[in-house]
Amino acid sequence: MTDQVYKGWNAVILKDGATIGFAEAASVEIATGVEPYYEIGSRTPSTIVPGNQEVTGSISRAWVNIDYLALVTGTGALTHFTLCFKAKAAVDAPWVYCYNCLFERGAIDVPQDGFLSEDYDFRATSVAVVLGT
Tell if the pTM clears 0.75, that is, is over it.
no
Identity at 100, one-letter amino acid code? N
Domains by residue range for the chain, with CATH? 9-130 (2.30.110.20)
50-91 pLDDT, tens digit each: 989 899 998 887 555 566 656 555 555 567 777 877 766 666
Q: Within 10 Å of residue 19's Cβ, how many Cβ atoms?
A: 11
